[in-house]
Amino acid sequence: MNTIRNILILTGLGCAVLIAILVSVITGPVDISLADILTGAINDKTKELILFDIRMPRAIAAALVGAGLACAGAAMQTLFRNDLADPYTLGTSAGGAVGVSLAIISGVAMLVPVAAFCGAIGSAFLVYILAAQKKRLSTGNLLLTGIAVSMFFSSVVSVCLVLSGKNMHQIMFWLMGGLWNTSWADIPLLLITLIPAGLLVLFSRDLNIMSCGEAETRTLGIDPEKTKLLLLGISAGITGLVVSVSGSIGFIGLVSPHIMRIITGPDHRVLIPASLGCGAFLLVCADTISRTWLGDLPVGIVTAFFGAPFFLMLIRRRTDL
Amino acid sequence: MKDTILEISDLSAGYEEKDILQEISLFIREKSFVGIIGPNGSGKSTFMQVLARSLPVRNGDIVLMGDSLQSWSFRDFGKIVGYVPQESDIKFRYPVYDVVMMGRNPHIERFRSPSAADHEAVQRALLQTGTVELARRPITDLSGGERQRVMIARVLAQDPVLLLLDEPFAHIDIHHQYELIRIIRETSRDKRAVIGVFHDINLAAAYCDQLVLMNDGKIRAFGKPEEVLTTSLLKEVFRISPVIDVNPTTGTPYVYVEEKWKETDAQNVHIHLISGGGTGTYLISLLSRSGYSLSCGVLAENDSDCLMARKYDIPTLTEPPFSRLSQETEEKLTELVKKADVVIVTSMPVGWGNYPNIRVLEQIDPHKILCILPSSGPSLPDFTSGVATDTIKRLLSNGAQKKSSPGELMEILQTTQIVNDYK
């Protein structure tokens, strides 16, 4: 039966994420061996610090960020019935960027995460208000409004970049997305995203039906307006939280659901947790690569660099959606 | 008296500024099967969308089982109303079984899994629609007709009190079409009302208790099939020239559409048709449609040829059934065949009663006689111990023409050579 297959897939993904985190923790410019950790034979304070206070929280943060982006991406793709939808479709990325830019320009760099979260959520809310004029929410409208609002916010960010002077690199780094600043302090915030992610799984039957077309949702017992609003809100919330920690990291939220749909099929009961695992795994790997061999390049660059060709390959291979 | 399930009064609805539906009022009683027919753009699908709540009501009221449509929670609404839209474009690879299980969604609590009863309902629906062997296949791999059957399976698994079907059989082959409509009708006899948009008027007439004829967003007629399918209504709404017959298998109205083609000069040509026992029905329709001035007879009053001739209002000589031709009628017939430009004889069964029909032909120019006979020989079902066959043989050897198919006959008539030759 499929259930056994699905349990195997999910268990496998879980193990893969744990292994990736473990590998990430022992990989880096400073050489720390697995044996040292296991035997507790480290008496080097610096190594201990690198291991437990730098690499460990960073790998866990990468996993949680990747997980959040991927499950929000899966939900967005279904709600928009569009393969190109990702967590940033509602303008969350550009909105976050505006918040961050304004915070940095006004010299309150302390508030960057808060500004990012507010910008992201504010943008999603704005897109929703602008798109839903006549009581009913058309996803086509929403998608186009999202693009328009994103473009507008991008221009605002560009103006900020011009005005930012010596702070420009700070904004640039945020725009590219990265995890170099993460510490244990970020982990509780990121763990919160697992709650809305769990909610998405609880709504997976609704997502299944909505992915099959809008006409029959009402006669199948679903209020599409309310459900759409709720699930978009959940997805935007996850994205906002993630963006406030890591900036906008691209491709993870777009690619993970696509990969998993090929392996698990479209059923959201499996697809959402599987995407979550896949996103976590991919981002931990990407971050490890960037940190170890690419001089801590912003991980957003790495995901795009590897993600885009991989995605192209998927598109060329597919026979169906 | 059956209970009213749906009560629609003075409804209007539409897209954007325009009201597509206007002044729609309708009662649907439980256990009834109502078909909606009408030309393209008459608002049939829009109407279904409003009933399925995917399009809002602009004006008027829809009351579903005593409560306003809008006041129903969607979960309860889904337990009562099932809908199969015209097109469903599932683009994800859900297995057929899972798609059918979606029909059970309104019956399953949010935080529960499908129960044994839900699985049973799905199994039954798969069986009824002949999709059991498709259950494990992804819906995206199926043909259009198979998909449509899965959609019907889903709505049967949903088990609603009111079933809305929007042209459910568009891509389905004729076997499954009849199988499915039979199942849907059976279930409507048990418990549910069905409202279906049908493209095939005759299918709708055969299976529906009542028909709604829509035109320009309004209900033009509502009633039993024989009340709605009238020549004048169909002519007005569909802009066709209908011939309304009786479906021989169901006794319900059956609508034919006449091809309009008139031969120039045809009205100047008088053809007399000698036939009987149903051998001339299509010729009567064909020749009168082509515009020939036609007369028939002598026919028995209950002969199907005679009924056809009456349908087209064609002058016909008749005799009571099973009686011999009277002297008087035979004289009238002789007059007719002498006046006619062409006389056509079909391979009708001949007995002593109607033999005079053939006998009179020996009095006229054999060249204007056309016999429609089987290609195997100059024979017809002869109950006169060969006398009639001998007469036909004599006519043929004196110059009467023999044709074996209506196609050949029409060719001759269309070239009008024969007509000019014998005028």
Q: What is the domain-level CATH number for residue B253?
A: 3.40.50.300
Predicted local distance difference test score (pLDDT) of residue B323: 79
Q: Tell me, yes or no, whether B297 and B179 share the same domain.
A: no
Cβ <8 Å between B91 and A205: no
Residues in chain B within 8 Å Cβ distance of A265: 92-95, 138
Identify the segments of chain A with pLDDT beneath 70: 1, 34, 37-43, 134-136, 318-321
Tokens coding A135? 């009581």
B203 plus B308 within the same structural domain: no
pLDDT tens profile B274-290: 998 888 888 888 888 77
Q: Is residue B266 very low, low, confident or very high in pLDDT (cuts 50, 70, 90)? A: low
Q: CB-based contact (8 Å) between A223 and chain B?
A: yes
pLDDT at B417: 47
Q: Output the pLDDT for position B243.
A: 79
Domain CATH for B359? 3.40.50.720
In chain A, which residues have their Cβ closer than 8 Å to the Cβ of B56? Answer: 135-136
Q: Quick one: average pLDDT of B377-381?
A: 71
**Which chain A residue has the Cα nearest residue B88?**
A213
Label residue B221 by pLDDT band (50, 70, 90): very high
Give the closest of B54, B89, B160 to A218, CB-based.
Answer: B54
pLDDT for position B264: 60
Residues B277 and B251 in one domain: no
The last residue of one of the domains, among B234, B257, B280, is B257
Q: Using one digit for the tens of pLDDT, what is the confidence trace for A107-131?
A: 777 788 888 889 988 998 898 888 8
First-to-last CA distance in chain A? 23
A214 to chain B nearest CA, in Å?
A: 8
Given this model, what pLDDT does residue B418 score?
A: 47
Mean pLDDT of chain B: 86
Between residues B103 and B266, the one the model is more confident about: B103
Structural domain of B33: 4-257
Same domain, B195 and B273: no
Q: Are B383 and B349 in contact (CB under 8 A)?
A: yes
**Domain boundary residue, one of B201, B229, B257:** B257
My answer on whether B225 and B287 are in the same domain is no
Which pLDDT belongs to residue B47?
93
Whether residues B282 and B304 share a domain: the answer is yes
**A218–B52 C-beta distance less than 8 A:** yes
% pLDDT > 90, chain B: 32
Q: Are residues B292 and B395 in the same domain?
A: yes
- Identify the structural domains of chain A with CATH numbers, from first to last: 2-317 (1.10.3470.10)
How many other CB atoms sit within 10 Å of the CB of residue A6?
19
Q: For position A182, what pLDDT does the model report?
A: 85
Residue that terminates a domain, selected from B239, B257, B275 = B257
Q: Are residues B154 and B249 in the same domain?
A: yes
Chain A contacts of B102, Cβ < 8 Å?
205, 208-209, 212, 220
Looking at residue B107, its pLDDT comes to: 93
Residues B181 and B325 reside in one and the same domain: no
Give the residue-averaged pLDDT of B374-382.
73
B88/B161 same-domain check = yes
Given an 8 Å threshold on Cβ–Cβ distance, is A320 in contact with B88?
no
Q: Which of A39-48, B1-10, B150-159, B291-300 has the lowest mean pLDDT?
A: A39-48
State the total domains in chain B. 2
Does residue B320 share a domain with residue B197? no
pLDDT at B423: 45
Residue B77 touches partner A, C-beta closer than 8 Å: yes
* Same-domain check for residues B136 and B161: yes
How far apart CA B7 and CA B80 sit, in angstroms, is: 15
For chain B, say whether A209 makes contact (Cβ under 8 Å): yes
Pairs of CB atoms within 8 A across A/B:
92
Chain A contact present for B135, CB below 8 A: no
